[in-house]
Structure 1
Amino acid sequence: MHITNIPPSSAMLFAFEPVRSMIDFFAGNALSLELLPKGDGHSVIVFPGLGASGSATAVLRSRLQQLDYEVHDWEHGVNQLPGGDLEAWITQLATQLRRLAERDGRTVTLVGWSLGGLYARALLQRYPAYIRQIITLGTPYAELRHAGAAPASHHGIDDDAVAAVPAFSIYSKSDGLVAWQGCVPSALHNHHAIAVDDVSHMGLVHHPEVLSIIAGLLARCGGDAVHARAVR
C-alpha cells in the first residue's frame, strides 16, 4: 500500500516536535471540560496516526467520553500501513462502523489523526450512509492506493450521499511532521479547513484549542438516523 502526495514539514519544526508535543499535552490536561458543550451520546471512532496505537489517543477518547459521547478505539492496534488488498482493508475497518451504526440506528462520527484521517476519508467514500461527519487532525489530502495501481473506483456509491456528510480538516501551520498546506481541501464540497495556532503534530490529539473545536463540531452536527438502505 502506498500513500501518495504527502508533503513534508520543515526541518526546524520537526526538530522541536517532541518538546512542543509535551507542552501541548500538559496544556490539554489543564482544560476544564465544564467549558465545553455536552454531547448527545452518539458513537465516535478515533483512528490513530502512523506508528501509533489506541494508547496515543486514549486521553482524547477519555475526554470525549466525559462529554457524554460513546467513544471507541479503532480496534486494530498499532497503525502500520497494512499490506495486501486495499479494498479488503477498508472493508475490515468498516466492520466496526457498520456494527455501531446498525446497533444504534444512528450515524457515527469518525475522528482521524494523521494517517488515521485518510482511513476516515476512505470510509466516507464507501460508506457515507453510516457517517455523521469526519474530523481529521493533521491529515493531508493524499491518496491511499496499491503499489502501481490507480486509485480505487467506488461503483454504486451515491456521490450526493458522500457530499452530504461534512468533513473538517483541523491543521496547524507549526505542524512538525506534515506541511499544513497539504491539509487544506481544494474545491471539495462540504470539506472545511480549520486552522489552529502553535500546535505540534503530536499535540493535535491533546491541545486545548483542538479539543474545544472537536467538542463544538460534535455538538453542532445533528443526529441523523442511518439511511434506511444502509441497514440490512
Structure 2
Amino acid sequence: MAAGRNRPITDHDTVDGPDRGGLLQRLKNLRDNARYRFQLLRGSAPTNAHTPSWKLFAAELGQVIAPVTRLVKPELPIERADHPRIVILLPGFAAHPGSMRYMARELERAGHKAKRWGLGYNFGPTPENFELLAQRVRAVHDRYGQKVVLIGWSLGGVFAREVAKVHPDCVAKVITMGTPFSHTPYSNNLWRLYQFTAGHAVEDLPIEAELAVKPPVETVAFWSPRDGAISRRAACGLPGERDRAVALRCSHMGFCDSREVILALVEELSRESGFD
C-alpha cells in the first residue's frame, strides 16, 4: 500500500467546498488590497502642498551608497558629556535601526547610552507597533531610572512626538530630524511611496495622532534647506508646534550620519532644559 494513502484530509489539501471558497476569498482580498494600494500610489496632493525641488530629490538618490560610506566614517571631535543621557534612536521610513549605527557610536563616545527602538524596519505606524514602542520607552525609563531623549529621523520623529504625548513622564526631550509634522502631510516627495507601502492615506494614520500638536516636553526640530525629501515647512514647523527649530545643512539621508547633525545633537544633549 502506498504510504499516506489513507491519511486524513487536512487544511492544506486542495478540495472542493469551504476550503476552496476560503482560498478564493483570500485571493480576492489580495487583489482588492493591491488595487487600493495602486490607487493610493496614483493619488494627487492638495494645491497648498509644498515639496522640495526634484533636483534636491534626485541628489538624495545618490545617497544609496551611504550604508557603505558609514562603515569608514571617522570619529568626530566629541568631548565627554558632563551629564550623560539615555537616548532612543528611531529610524526613518523604510529604514532599519542599523542606519543610525554611526550616530549611536558617536553619541556613546560622548558618554551617552544609545538604544534602538526595537521594532526593526520602519514601514509606518500601526496600533500594534505604536503600543510596543510605548512599552519600550517605559521599559528603558524604568531600567535606567531617568527620562529618555527620543531622537527621530524622518518618520521616526512622528513616532517620537506621538509617544511623548502618551508617556511625557518618561521623556525628557524629543528631537526630530527632517520629520514631516507640520504644514500638510503631503509636503514631501515620499507620500505616494508611503501610501503604497503602508496601505493607508497619509492623512489617515491608523493611530490617534495630531501631528502638529507639540508634545508636553521640550521638542526641537532639526531641518535642512538641502532636504530633498521633506519640505522645510513640514520639518521646521511653526512656533507652538515645537519649542525650537535648528537649521542644518545636510541632505535628508545625511540626517543620520552627517558631522553637523551629530555635533548639533551632542550640543542639544548637553542642555539642562527638560532634565528635571
Which of the five TM-score ranges fits, normalised by the shorter chain? 0.7 to 0.9
Number of the residue aligned with 2:260: 209
Q: Does 1:72 align with 2:72?
A: no
- Pair 1:43-2:86 in alignment: yes
Q: 2:157 & 2:82 partners in 1: Cα distance?
A: 22
RMSD: 3.2
Amino acid at match of 2:114: V
Verify the 8 A CA contact 2:80 2:109 in the aligned structure 1. Answer: no
| Offset of residue 7 of structure 1 | 5.0
Is 2:55 the counterpart of 1:12?
Answer: yes
With 112-121 and 93-102 compared, the bigger mean Cα shift is at: 93-102
Distance change (3 Å), C-alpha of 1:214 and 1:183: same
Structure 2 residue aligned with 1:194, among 204, 226, 246?
Answer: 246
Equivalent AA in structure 1 for residue 102 of structure 2: V
TM-score (norm 1): 0.77
* Letter matched to residue 100 of structure 1: V
- The 8 Å contact of residues 81 and 110 in structure 2, kept in 1 or not, is answered as yes
| Superposition map of 1:168-179 within 5 A | 168-179=220-231
In structure 2, how many angstroms separate the alpha carbons of the residues matched to 1:194 and 1:153? Answer: 24
Identity between Structure 1 and Structure 2 (%)? 25
Q: Where in structure 1 are there 5+ consecutive unaligned residues? A: 226-232
In the aligned structure 1, how far is the partner of 2:177 from the partner of 2:115? Answer: 17
Is the aligned partner of 1:184 residue 2:236?
A: yes
Equivalent position of 1:230 in the other structure: none
Give the counterpart of 1:91 among 104, 107, 131. Answer: 131
Q: Would the aligned equivalents of 2:125 and 2:159 in 1 still touch at CA under 8 Å?
A: no
Q: How many residues align?
A: 209
Kindly indicate whether residue 148 of structure 2 is the aligned counterpart of residue 108 of structure 1. yes
Query: How big is each residue's C-alpha offset from its partner over 1:87-106, in whole Å with a ceiling of 9 and x where there is no partner?
Result: x4322111111011112221
Change (3 A) 1:124 1:109: same
1:29 aligns with 2:81: no
C-alpha separation between the residues in 1 aligned to 2:235 and 2:253?
A: 15
SS where residue 268 of structure 2 aligns? helix
Three-state SS of the structure 2 residue aligned to 1:76 is coil
Shift of residue 152 of structure 1? 2.5
Q: 1:138 aligns with which of 156, 165, 178?
A: 178
* Separation of aligned partners in 2, 1:210 and 1:102: 29
Q: 1:153 to 1:177 in 2, by over 3 A?
A: closer
Residue 55 of structure 1: SS of its match in structure 2? helix
- Structure 2 counterpart of 1:19, one-letter code: G
Structure 1 82/132 Cα, relative in aligned 2: closer, same or farther at 3 Å? closer
TM-score, length-normalised on structure 2?
0.66
Structure 2 residue aligned with 1:152: 208
Deviation at 1:130, TM superposition (A): 0.4
Shift of 1:189: 6.0
Of the two structures, which has the highest relative contact order with CA contacts closer than 8 Å and spacing of 6 or more? 1
Distance of 2:252 and 2:205 partners within structure 1? 30
For the 8 Å contact 2:57–2:229, the answer to whether it is kept is yes
Partners of 1:30 and 1:72 lie apart in 2 by: 21
Larger strand proportion of the pair: 1
Matched-pair contact (CA < 8 Å) for 1:39–1:218: no
Q: Does the aligned pair in 2 maintain the 1:109–1:134 contact within 8 Å?
A: yes
Q: By how many angstroms is 1:37 displaced?
A: 5.2
1:217 maps to a residue whose letter is E
Unaligned stretches of 5+ residues in structure 2: 1-39, 186-199
- Cα pair distance change 1:40/1:184, threshold 3 Å: same
